[in-house]
Each structure stands twice: as structure tokens, then as C-alpha cells.
């Protein structure tokens, strides 16, 4: 090889080899570059080839660099060639011309340039398509490099050794590190890499055709045969290869042969069906067939019978790894104390309860049940002491095979409590439910029961007779029998406990308690903790009334009732005179003394005595002298069904010598005729039925009943006239009183209405029905009472108001100014009250009843306006509030209302009051 270069201009002289002058690069683009040089002299040798060599490396040669031919020159002159392949992109590239003669290669001047790249290599064919490690693979295509050193081939991340490269063909060796079955090829020429995805190279992996034998147990040797197995160890380090049976490693004891591999079944295998796998790097070779793991053979159990904590020996075939083995007796895990391939020892667990229990050996994935079962020994009773006793007597049972925590002792069917137990002794107690007499004792341990050889005698109380089985309060009853306990025996009459009068082992005497009632009752005897019930029941004898003295009396006087079987405790006898309870002051078995109620109606009244829930009436009634006579009346309700309000009341007035009672709760108006004491339902609805208004003003003007406003819902006035038998409704708008629960009077056919403690404390109005029902606001009440209205009434041309704090005011009308003049009168001397009732007879006013602190009253007072005095004259039959009262023909009529507290019932009784019958 000859190199020519220089700075001085040479003169053409004859020489043996060609001579170049200058090297240039033009036309540089991203796909090619043009190389130019001057062949200054052809020399004396024949030129057989000429062109350029180029590379990214400084040292250039025709054998190690890329080349592009310029043809065979016939004479000196310019040669040029276009390079399109193996041009580095964006890097320096070196180039020089060359000429090949018959005996030498001549190179021209070296130059360099920055290449923009050339055409990228293309692969059109891979041959062969399937190859094994170290096979030679040929890539056919174009735009490859002429230099092996400029050409690189990659399969995945692994580079393969290129053994030759020309413009259209690359040959490389398949790198043994390649383990992927399918591989995409990448070619890099002069630093430019291209990934080819169209053509792929398939790796011929080793194949495992057969596993021999295909069945076995842990530790057996198996042989793998197949194709190309010798390649595994030939080309790979041992650290890159793992052998697996199923998912368990077989690394230990692997032996490799030319055409086979031998391994041992690892102890860790825990599946029945297992493929053999060889992992080579990231590639796994899986056997075409499977290996079947065989279960251990059967085993024997010794001893076949025992109890908890005993050691059992299992003989057979077991896993050599102790931690892999487990044993179950019944359904309970047994603790293994020693383990070998031929024998296991385990302890019988405490949870075992079956008589015959299967013994199971478990080693994943197998469960092996022995043909032999383990029999749990039944408990054995050797003695019981004592052999007789009462309930709660301590009994000690001796024996063996008892078990703390799961042992039951029974006396017949009664379960006994256990206070102490070990494997040979039980401390128990005679249970309450054990039957009297001889009974069996059984001990149940888990599921096995053993009966004691001797019977146990249970001592319990026995009743043979009770006499008498009927009687009255405080009478003695005798119980005979046996096994009674002096000092610890009690009698129960029904649910009531009784301390006996006397107790011996065979006889008990007790008295009938005064709180016994008429219901037949069991007699039960308890001696210690034991109880016995007599089959026949005890019946309390009813009382009888023989006489009532005196036979004629006045309210508030004392009476004496004679008879038999009364309760000697006076407060356990109840006496009723008619509807009303008398006050019992004393009693004995044959006599009751009682004080008559202050308020009773006149006439012959029944006497009723309730004792021990028996009710008996006197054969002859008692004649009562009273100004009150009961009159039959309809059941006119006062309260709404839901007891809407404590302050609800009916309204009652007289029109043309007949009484009228209007009930919002009853939704009706009744007419009372005193001529025959008859009642008539007028069959008209109340217009205020749907609006439960309280404390409406109530007054009669020109034969019409007016109900005015009211404390709640008081936006209306209602008027009832018997002639038309209908209600009229008037809307109340200012200046009329709205929502006023007040008092009402009539003077000279003008209605005066006002005062509402909670709404309008002192306001008053006048109403002229004859003047188009004109309302006028008049001067207020000049007194501050700070109290509700209890009742109001009118005597002649004067009105009176009784307040709940006992203040009494009187008013008169000024006919000229239609206003009221007020004066204060003497206070009411009785108990302060609300919701009282009043009426007027013969110029005198009567006031009473009502409630104070939720307690109803029935006292009746008379007011004399001439001397401004109040006198207590008696009591209304039955305490009540919200009652109705009116007077007709010198007699008064009073009744209805509600009794006692907020939620108590309506009263439906009605009375005539004759002042001439008052006690003088």
C-alpha cells in the first residue's frame, strides 16, 4: 500500500503506481455525500478499481472501512462517487480516495467533514427463521456497512457477534444469552440504529418430552428426557438456571447427562399434579407432561383406646419434614411430640368427645384417614358419698376419666352444680329439681354417660293434707306431712309469703292473711330451698251483711254494719252508700263502722261492702234525709275524647221554665222539663263542636241563650233560641271582644261581658241585641284581682263575680251611660277554687264545687246579699268541677262535670236541690 500527499505542486513524472491530488466532499445531505479527487497520474500499472473509503474512524482501509466505487479510470483526471450508506448522522466522517492495481492499493489524501447521515439500513430477510444458540444467522437487505466494525446486531438487549458485513448481507452468531422465543432484530450501522419489527427470529428452545417415572412420592428420583437439553448447561452459567417441580425448587441433587436430566422430588411439593419447569433467565421451559405426587400409604394407631392426654403412636409412611405433618383425632388437632418417616407420636387433645373418633394424618395436599379409630374411654364411677340428703347437700363422686369443663352430673333429669372436679373426683350438690325419694346419679363426660351403682335418696318436704281449704281472715290452716324444717319453712298463699304460726317436722300451722282476695289460690310450702304445692286450692269465704244501723240517717253521720267474714283491718274494707264511698273508721270480723259522705242524695240508698275483692249488698237500704234527689239523666259528656283540657265545661241555662244543656263534647243540646224530670235531645249540632272553646260567657237575654267569645278560639258568639231550635253564629270583630274568657250579665236587655285574666284583665263591653247586635267598649273593671273567675251569678239588677282567690265583686248597670259600677264585697270564706258552679233561688245565691290544686270539691255555700254573708249549708253529692246548674220554680238542678284530676272521667249524675229540705 502506498500513500501520496504533499504541499508542493508535483510535476507529472513517470512512476509505477497511481497518484492522487486533493480530496473534496460536496453535496452533503441527510441521505448522501459526494466525494471528489483528482487522479494526477495513472502510473505504470493497470488500475483495476478506484473509488473512496470512508468511516467515522480515523484509520481507513479498503478492508476495514466502507467504500464507494468511482469506476476504472482510463486516464488521469477527476474521479467522483456518491456515498449513501453507513454515513454517521451529525458526526465527523473521514474520507480518502483509493486505486487498486494488479499488485497494490494506493490511497489518496485524507479529509473529513460533518456528515448529515445517509440511507438507513433495511432488512428484507432473516435466514434461518428458527435458530439455536451459536447458530450463524444471515440478514439480507441493503444499505449495510462494508465494515464488520461499523456494524452491530441486537436481539432484544443482547448484542450478537457480527462475523461479516457487506452492503447487502450481514452474518452474526446467535448470542446464548438470548432466551426469548420471539426476538425482534435491531441493526446499527455507523451509530445509527434501526429496529425491524416485520421480520423476527425465533429461538429453538430445549424441549422436555417425558418425565420418568411420572408418579412418585417425596424424595423419589425422576428423569427428564427431550430435545436440546444438553444446550442448557453448555451455554449458561448454573446461576442463571433454576429447576422447578410445580413451584418448588429442585436445585439440590440435579444431575445432567447428554440427553437427560435427573432430579429428586423435593419435600416441599404440595400439589398432586406438577409440571417440570426450567427457568433460563426470563424464559421458562415447561414439560409437556405432568408428574403425579402419590399420597402416603395407610397407617396404624396404637393404643386403640384411651383418654385425654394419652400418647398415641401412628406407624406408616410419613413426611420426613416434621413441620409438614399434622394429626387430627375427631375434629381436633393433636400435638405431635416426635416425627419420623415411619412413625409419629401425638397427644390425645382435650376437645375429643366422640366415642369412636377417626384419626387423620394431614400433609398437604393429602388427607389420610386410618382404618383404625380411637375410642375414648367412658367415665367410671367407683363411689358416691353420702347416699342421701336434702337439696344442696354436698356429694363427692369418686372414679376416673372425668374431665374439667365438660362434665355433667344429674340426679335423674335434674342437673347438679359442680364446685370442684379433676380426672378422678367430682364435688357436686343435690339439685333443687331432683325428685323426692330414690334417684339415679349419672355422670356425662363429653358424649359418654355412666350411671352410679347405688341409688341416692333425695329428702324433700311432702304434704299429705291441708285443712280447712276455705276460711276467712286470720283463721288458722293446718298443713300435715313430713320432712318440714323448723325455722326454715314458709307458706305461700298464691304469690303472698306467710310466716307460719308453728312448724314441726310433720305439721305447719299458718293464718289466712288479711290481704287475701277471692281468687282461689295454690298453697305452696317451702322447706329450705325445696318447694311443694298442694293439688287443691284454697278459697276465701265471702262476707255477708246482716244489718245496717241506723236505718235512717243524714249525710256525715255514723253507721254500723253487722255481718260475718269482714276484714279485721278496717282500711281493707270499702263501703259505698249508693255511688259514694263512706269513710271506714273501724272493723272486726263481724262489724264495720263508717262515716257517711257529706254529700248524699235523699231516699233509700243501697249499702255496698267490698272485702277481699268480694262485693256484697245489704238486704235493706238506708234512708237518707238530704235536700238532693237524684234525677235520671242522659250521659252528657263534658270533656272531649282526648281529655282536651281541664277547663272544659258544659253550659246550662233556663229559658221559659225549662233547662237547656249545651255540650260541645257531646255535639248536642238537651232540654230538661222539671214537670216530669224528662230529657229531650233536640237533635241540633253545636256550631262550636270543632273548636273546643274554654270559658265562654254564658247569659240568657230575651229568651235566647248567648255563648260569647271564650279564652281559646273565641272569635265567635253563638245564640240559641228554643222557639226556632237553632243556633246562630256571629263573627266577632273589633270593637267586639275576641278571645276573651269572661263573665256575662243582662241588665235591661243589654248584655255586659268582659274580664279575662290571661288576655284582657280588666276589659268590658256592652252588647245590644235589639240594636243590631252592636258592641260598645265600656270602662274597665276598676279592680286588680290577679285571679281567674270561679263563678258568677245575677241577683235582680246586681251581678256578682267570685274569683279563684276568693275576692267577690258586685256590679250594677248605669242605664244612662251603659256602663257598670263596681264595688268589692266580703271575700268568699271557703277553699279557693276554679271552675265552681252557682245558681240563684229566692234572692239567695248558691256557690260551690270546683277544683283546688287538681282536687275536686263538693261543698255548697249560700250567699245573702242583704247582709253580705256566706254560709256553708251542705255538700253536693259527688265532688266535681265544670258542672251545670240552674234553678226552676224554687228548685235548683245540678250535675254533670268531671271529677278529680286532669285525666279523670266525666260524671253523668244529675240532682234536684230543694232548699226547704236543708237541716234547720
Q: How far is CA 9 from CA 12, 40, 99, 637, in A?
A: 10, 11, 21, 150
Those residues with Cβ within 8 angstroms of residue 167's Cβ, 6 or more apart along the chain or in another chain = 85, 142, 143, 144, 145, 146
User: Given CA atoms 488, 493, 494, 496 in this order, what sign does their dihedral have?
Assistant: negative
Q: How far is CA 550 from CA 410, 494, 553, 594, 613, in A?
A: 69, 39, 7, 12, 26
pLDDT at 673: 98
Q: Which of 592, 600, 593 is nearest to 623 (CA)?
A: 600
pLDDT at 691: 54
pLDDT at 678: 97
DSSP state letters, 170-203 = EEEE--TT---SEEEEEEEETTEEEEEEEEEEEE
Domains present along the chain, CATH in parentheses: 2-116 (2.60.40.10), 122-203 (2.60.40.10), 207-293 (2.60.40.10), 300-376 (2.60.40.10), 380-458 (2.60.40.10), 462-540 (2.60.40.10), 544-626 (2.60.40.10), 629-917 (2.120.10.80)
Going through 364-440 in order, the beta strands assigned E by DSSP cover: 366-376, 380-385, 388-389, 394-400, 407-411, 414-416, 418-421, 425-429, 437-439
pLDDT at 29: 93
User: Residue 149, SS3?
Assistant: helix
Task: Compute the chain's Rg from CA coordinates.
Answer: 64
Q: Cα–Cα–Cα angle for 760, 765, 766, nearest 5°?
A: 165
* Neighbouring C-beta atoms of residue 6, cutoff 10 Å: 9
pLDDT at 743: 94
Tell me, what DSSP letter sits at residue 310?
P
Cα–Cα dist 371/848, whole Å = 102
pLDDT at 784: 85
Tell me, what DSSP letter sits at residue 234?
H
Cα–Cα dist 556/177, whole Å = 127
Max intra-chain CA distance, the chain: 188
Q: Could you tell me the pTM of the whole model?
A: 0.59
Do 755 and 729 touch, CB atoms closer than 8 A?
Answer: no
Average pLDDT across each block of 10 residues of the chain; the chain has 920 residues. List them in order: 42 74 94 94 90 92 91 93 92 95 93 92 90 90 89 92 93 88 89 83 87 94 89 66 91 83 93 92 87 94 94 95 96 96 95 92 96 94 96 96 91 96 96 94 94 96 97 97 96 95 97 96 96 96 97 96 98 96 98 97 97 96 96 89 61 96 86 97 74 78 92 83 93 88 93 81 90 92 88 97 96 87 97 95 97 91 98 96 95 92 78 88
Amino acid at each position: 500500500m502506498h500513500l501520496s500527499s504533499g504541499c508542493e505542486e508535483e510535476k507529472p513524472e513517470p512512476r509505477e503506481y497511481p497518484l492522487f491530488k486533493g480530496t473534496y466532499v460536496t453535496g452533503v445531505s441527510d441521505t448522501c455525500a459526494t466525494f471528489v479527487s483528482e487522479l494526477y497520474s495513472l502510473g505504470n500499472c493497470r488500475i483495476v478499481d478506484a473509488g473512496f473509503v470512508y468511516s467515522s474512524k480515523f484509520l481507513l482501509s479498503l478492508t476495514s472501512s466502507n467504500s464507494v466505487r468511482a469506476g476504472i479510470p482510463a486516464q488521469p483526471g477527476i474521479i467522483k462517487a456518491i456515498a449513501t450508506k453507513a454515513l454517521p448522522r451529525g458526526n465527523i466522517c473521514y474520507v480518502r480516495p483509493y486505486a487498486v492495481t494488479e499488485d497494490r492499493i494506493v490511497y489518496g489524501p485524507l479529509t473529513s467533514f460533518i456528515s448529515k447521515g445517509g440511507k438507513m439500513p433495511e432488512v428484507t430477510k432473516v435466514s434461518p427463521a428458527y435458530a439455536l444458540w451459536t447458530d450463524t444467522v444471515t440478514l439480507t437487505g441493503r444499505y449495510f456497512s462494508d465494515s464488520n466494525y461499523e456494524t452491530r446486531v441486537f436481539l432484544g438487549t443482547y448484542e450478537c457477534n457480527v462475523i461479516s458485513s457487506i452492503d447487502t448481507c450481514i452474518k452474526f452468531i446467535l448470542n446464548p444469552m438470548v432466551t426469548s422465543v420471539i426476538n425482534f432484530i435491531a441493526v446499527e450501522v455507523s451509530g445509527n440504529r434501526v429496529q425491524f419489527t416485520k421480520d423476527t427470529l425465533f429461538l429453538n428452545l430445549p424441549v422436555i418430552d417425558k418425565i420418568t417415572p411420572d408418579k412418585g412420592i417425596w424424595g423419589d428420583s425422576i428423569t427428564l428426557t427431550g430435545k436440546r437439553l444438553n444446550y442448557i448447561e453448555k451455554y449458561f452459567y448454573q446461576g442463571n438456571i433454576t429447576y422447578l417441580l410445580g413451584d418448588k425448587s429442585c436445585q439440590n441433587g440435579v444431575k445432567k447427562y447428554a440427553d437427560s436430566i435427573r432430579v429428586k422430588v423435593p419435600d416441599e411439593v404440595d400439589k398432586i399434579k406438577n409440571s417440570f419447569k426450567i427457568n433460563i433467565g426470563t424464559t421458562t421451559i415447561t414439560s409437556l407432561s405432568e408428574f403425579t405426587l402419590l399420597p402416603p400409604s395407610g397407617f396404624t394407631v396404637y393404643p386403640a383406646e384411651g383418654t385425654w392426654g394419652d400418647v398415641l403412636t401412628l406407624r406408616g409412611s410419613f413426611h420426613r419434614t416434621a413441620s409438614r405433618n399434622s394429626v387430627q383425632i375427631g375434629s381436633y388437632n393433636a400435638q405431635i411430640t416426635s416425627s419420623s418417616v415411619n412413625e409419629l407420636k401425638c397427644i390425645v387433645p382435650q376437645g375429643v368427645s366422640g366415642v369412636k373418633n377417626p384419626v387423620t394424618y394431614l400433609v398437604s395436599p393429602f388427607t389420610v384417614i386410618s382404618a383404625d379409630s380411637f375410642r375414648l374411654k367412658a367415665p367410671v364411677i367407683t363411689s358416691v358419698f353420702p347416699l342421701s340428703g336434702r337439696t344442696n347437700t354436698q356429694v363427692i363422686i369418686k372414679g376416673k376419666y372425668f374431665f374439667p369443663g365438660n362434665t355433667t352430673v344429674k340426679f335423674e333429669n335434674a342437673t347438679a352444680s359442680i364446685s370442684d372436679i379433676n380426672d378422678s373426683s367430682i364435688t357436686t350438690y343435690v339439685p333443687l329439681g331432683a325428685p323426692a325419694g330414690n334417684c339415679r346419679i349419672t355422670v356425662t363426660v363429653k358424649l359418654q354417660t355412666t350411671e352410679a351403682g347405688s341409688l341416692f335418696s333425695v329428702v324433700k318436704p311432702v304434704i299429705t293434707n291441708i285443712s280447712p281449704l276455705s276460711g276467712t281472715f286470720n283463721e288458722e290452716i293446718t298443713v300435715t306431712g313430713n320432712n318440714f324444717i323448723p325455722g326454715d319453712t314458709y307458706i305461700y298463699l298464691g304469690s303472698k309469703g306467710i310466716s307460719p304460726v308453728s312448724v314441726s317436722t310433720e305439721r305447719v300451722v299458718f293464718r289466712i292473711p288479711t290481704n287475701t282476695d277471692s281468687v282461689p289460690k295454690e298453697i305452696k310450702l317451702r322447706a329450705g330451698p325445696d318447694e311443694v304445692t298442694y293439688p287443691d286450692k284454697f278459697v276465701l269465704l265471702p262476707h255477708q251483711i246482716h244489718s245496717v244501723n241506723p236505718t235512717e240517717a243524714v249525710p256525715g253521720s255514723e253507721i254500723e254494719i253487722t255481718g260475718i267474714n269482714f276484714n279485721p283491718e278496717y282500711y281493707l274494707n270499702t263501703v259505698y252508700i249508693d255511688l259514694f264511698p263512706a269513710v271506714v273508721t273501724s272493723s272486726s270480723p263481724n262489724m264495720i263502722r263508717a262515716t257517711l259522705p257529706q254529700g248524699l242524695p235523699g231516699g233509700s240508698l243501697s249499702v255496698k261492702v267490698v272485702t277481699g275483692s268480694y262485693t256484697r249488698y245489704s238486704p235493706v237500704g238506708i234512708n237518707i234525709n238530704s235536700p238532693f234527689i237524684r234525677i235520671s239523666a242522659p250521659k252528657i259528656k263534658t270533656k272531649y275524647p282526648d281529655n282536651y283540657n281541664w277547663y272544659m265545661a258544659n253550659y246550662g241555662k233556663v229559658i221559659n221554665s225549662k233547662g237547656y244543656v249545651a255540650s260541645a263534647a257531646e255535639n248536642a243540646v238537651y232540654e230538661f222539663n222539671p214537670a216530669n224530670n224528662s230529657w229531650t235531645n233536640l237533635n241540633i249540632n253545636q256550631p262550636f263542636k270543632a273548636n273546643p272553646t274554654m270559658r265562654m260567657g254564658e247569659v240568657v237575654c230575651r229568651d235566647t241563650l248567648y255563648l260569647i267569645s271564650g279564652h281559646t278560639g273565641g272569635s265567635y258568639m253563638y245564640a240559641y233560641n228554643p222557639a226556632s231550635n237553632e243556633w246562630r253564629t256571629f263573627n266577632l270583630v273589633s270593637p267586639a271582644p275576641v278571645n276573651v274568657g269572661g263573665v256575662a250579665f243582662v241588665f235591661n236587655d243589654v248584655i255586659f261581658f268582659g274580664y279575662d285574666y290571661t288576655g284582657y284583665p280588666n276589659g268590658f263591653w256592652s252588647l245590644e241585641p235589639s240594636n243590631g247586635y252592636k258592641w260598645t267598649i265600656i270602662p274597665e273593671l276598676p279592680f286588680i284581682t290577679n285571679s281567674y273567675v270561679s263563678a258568677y251569678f245575677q241577683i235582680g239588677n246586681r251581678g256578682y263575680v267570685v274569683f279563684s282567690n276568693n275576692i267577690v265583686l258586685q256590679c250594677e248597670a248605669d242605664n244612662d251611660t251603659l256602663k257598670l259600677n263596681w264595688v268589692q264585697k266580703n271575700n268568699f270564706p271557703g277553699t279557693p277554687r276554679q271552675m265552681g258552679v252557682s245558681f240563684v233561688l229566692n234572692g239567695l245565691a248558691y256557690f260551690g264545687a270546683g277544683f283546688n290544686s287538681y282536687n275536686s270539691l263538693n261543698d255548697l255555700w249560700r250567699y245573702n246579699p242583704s247582709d253580705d254573708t256566706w254560709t256553708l249549708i251542705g255538700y253536693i253529692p259527688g265532688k266535681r268541677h265544670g258542672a251545670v246548674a240552674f234553678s226552676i220554680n224554687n228548685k235548683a238542678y245540678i250535675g254533670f262535670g268531671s271529677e278529680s284530676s286532669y285525666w279523670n272521667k266525666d260524671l253523668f249524675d244529675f240532682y234536684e236541690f230543694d232548699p226547704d229540705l236543708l237541716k234547720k
